[in-house]
């Protein structure tokens, strides 16, 4: 509920209750009708509504991508906001959601309970802990999960999917996550926790549960117990896993039939990682869940763009962008912060993701298959399954080469600058299938360009 809509509803309720004193006399029939209608109107607009509901999401018939409640393909344009539920108050959450919505993001990755990276972990911004007496996974505190419910409800109202980690494990069992507490609680208590979550969030269709968290657990039964608890309550929400960096989910979780969506986590070759994941998890969409974050490890804007574009051209169902400090907000920072999180909401990387998402809205992106042969050492190519378009992302190659199959029937060709959104004609001046970018550098000083060839 936005502040403006809340004000309208409150005003209507006040008007409905402001009935003149009629004493012992019945009111005028026309006045009674008007007052009754006003009361009904006040009740109706006070009910929570979701315009253009897109949820729940399901997996497409061909297992390649996600589709929304209206049967339309859903391209994940995600933002990592791991510490949001624990670190932000409601006015801050509204600010974050409105900012990300304006930039075209439609997905948020967040931890339901935070172990380290929030100001008062594991308590939230209002000082409420997720469990009583600091006994993790025993006796959940309703007030804590009420705040989480409110956030997911607000996200839904703005059209956001929430990829929700119920118990982030943490790297190698470190204090970043809940690995030790999960082992201490055991499968029985963790299943009860999963069942609690299944009942508590049953009415919210915009959730995908994200098990694990930066780890391939030694005891998979602990993770499976949470899944079992969710399933026991009849939860139909999709499930996925966040594993170690560069691990292959299909190998680590080969027996986990409950996994609906594959994920890739790499700082390296995204195209290769996506190809491996798709092969290891046939019949399931694959999402680039995590790559290098903006503001960490010397990552450049071009690095961010390269990972995101490559994921989609490799047949992915979308990608998730990350920024330091946005992912942890005002919580502890494992890397130096150059900005306050509110300032970082308009970062170059976020704006680049906005341009990329807008670009794909004009294409049948779900038809992309990584069938084009390599065009150069620094280029990746995707082609629509119906041959209606071909797309190349190049990150430094002076010439893009395409074979006859990729160019056949393509009458229009143009260059897109992923750092500015500008479009310019593309002419094959060096013979059929050879295209030279508009210049060595794009508007932001990077070397990356996008070539689009269409049949019309």
Hey, where are the domains in the chain?
Answer: 3-46, 58-365, 371-454
Question: Which residue numbers in the chain have pLDDT < 50?
Answer: 1-27, 29-49
Residue with tokens 């503001």: 295
First to last CA, the chain: 42
Candidates 329, 240, 323, 336; CA nearest to 288 is: 240
Give the containing element (helix H, strand E) for 454: strand 448-454
Its sign, for the CA torsion 413, 417, 421, 422, is negative
In whole angstroms, how far apart are CA 219 and each of 186, 206, 253, 338? Answer: 10, 29, 12, 38
CATH of domain 58-365: 3.20.20.80
In whole angstroms, how far apart are CA 371 and each of 31, 324, 357? Answer: 70, 35, 22
Its pTM stands at 0.87
At 48 the pLDDT is 42
Give phi and psi for 191, each to the nearest 5.
Answer: -65, -40
**Could you tell me if 130 and 122 are in contact, meaning their C-beta atoms sit under 8 angstroms apart?**
yes
321: left (phi over 0), alpha (psi -120 to 50) or beta: beta
At 373 the pLDDT is 66
Give the containing element (helix H, strand E) for 242: strand 239-242
Other CB atoms within a 10 A radius of the CB of residue 313 amount to 25
Its sign, for the CA torsion 79, 83, 84, 87, is negative
At 338 the pLDDT is 84
Cis, bond preceding 298 (omega within 30 deg of 0): no
Q: What SS3 class is residue 240?
A: strand
**Could you tell me if 454 and 412 are in contact, meaning their C-beta atoms sit under 8 angstroms apart?**
yes
How do residues 231-254 score in pLDDT, each as one tens digit? 999 889 999 999 999 899 888 998
**Could you tell me if 198 and 143 are in contact, meaning their C-beta atoms sit under 8 angstroms apart?**
no
At 9 the pLDDT is 35
Cis, bond preceding 56 (omega within 30 deg of 0): yes
């Amino acid at each position: 509920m936005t502040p403006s809509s809340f004000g309208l509803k409150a005003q209507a309720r006040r008007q409905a209750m402001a009935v003149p004193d009629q004493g012992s006399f019945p009111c005028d029939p026309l006045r009674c009708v008007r007052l009754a209608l006003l009361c009904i109107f006040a009740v109706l607009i006070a009910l929570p509504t979701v315009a253009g509901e897109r949820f729940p999401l399901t997996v497409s018939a061909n297992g390649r991508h996600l589709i929304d409640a209206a049967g339309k393909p859903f391209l994940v344009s995600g933002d990592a906001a791991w510490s949001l539920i624990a670190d932000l108050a409601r006015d801050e959450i509204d600010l974050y959601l409105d900012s990300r919505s304006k930039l075209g993001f439609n997905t948020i990755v967040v931890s339901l309970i935070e172990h380290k990276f929030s100001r008062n972990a594991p308590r939230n911004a209002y000082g409420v802990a997720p469990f009583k007496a600091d006994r993790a996974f025993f006796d959940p505190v309703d007030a804590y999960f009420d705040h989480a419910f409110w956030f997911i409800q607000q996200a839904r109202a703005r059209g956001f999917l929430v990829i929700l980690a119920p118990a982030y494990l943490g790297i190698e069992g470190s204090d970043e996550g809940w690995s030790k507490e999960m082992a201490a609680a055991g499968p029985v208590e963790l299943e009860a926790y999963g069942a609690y979550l299944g009942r508590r969030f049953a009415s919210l269709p915009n959730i995908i549960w994200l098990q694990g968290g930066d780890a391939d657990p030694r005891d998979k039964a602990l993770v499976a117990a949470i899944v079992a608890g969710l399933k026991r309550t009849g939860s139909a929400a999709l499930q996925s896993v966040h594993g170690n960096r560069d691990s292959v989910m299909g190998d680590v979780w080969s027996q986990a039939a409950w996994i609906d969506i594959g994920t890739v986590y790499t700082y390296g070759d995204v195209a290769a990682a996506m190809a491996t994941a798709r092969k290891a998890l046939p019949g399931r969409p694959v999402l680039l869940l995590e790559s290098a974050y903006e503001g960490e490890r010397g990552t450049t804007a071009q690095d961010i763009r390269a990972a995101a574009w490559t994921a989609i051209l490799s047949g992915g169902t979308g990608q998730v962008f990350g920024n330091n400090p946005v992912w942890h907000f005002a919580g502890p920072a494992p890397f130096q912060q150059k900005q306050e999180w509110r300032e970082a909401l308009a970062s170059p990387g976020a704006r680049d993701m906005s341009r990329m998402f807008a670009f794909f809205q004009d294409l049948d992106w779900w038809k992309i298959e990584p069938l084009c042969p390599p065009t150069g050492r620094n280029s990746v190519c995707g082609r629509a399954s119906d041959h209606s378009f071909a797309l190349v992302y190049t990150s430094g190659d002076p010439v893009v080469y395409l074979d006859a199959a990729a160019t056949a029937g393509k009458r229009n060709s143009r260059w897109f600058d992923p750092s500015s959104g500008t479009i310019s004609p593309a002419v094959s001046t060096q013979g059929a299938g050879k295209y030279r970018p508009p210049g060595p550098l794009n508007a932001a000083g990077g070397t990356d360009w996008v070539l689009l060839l269409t049949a019309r």
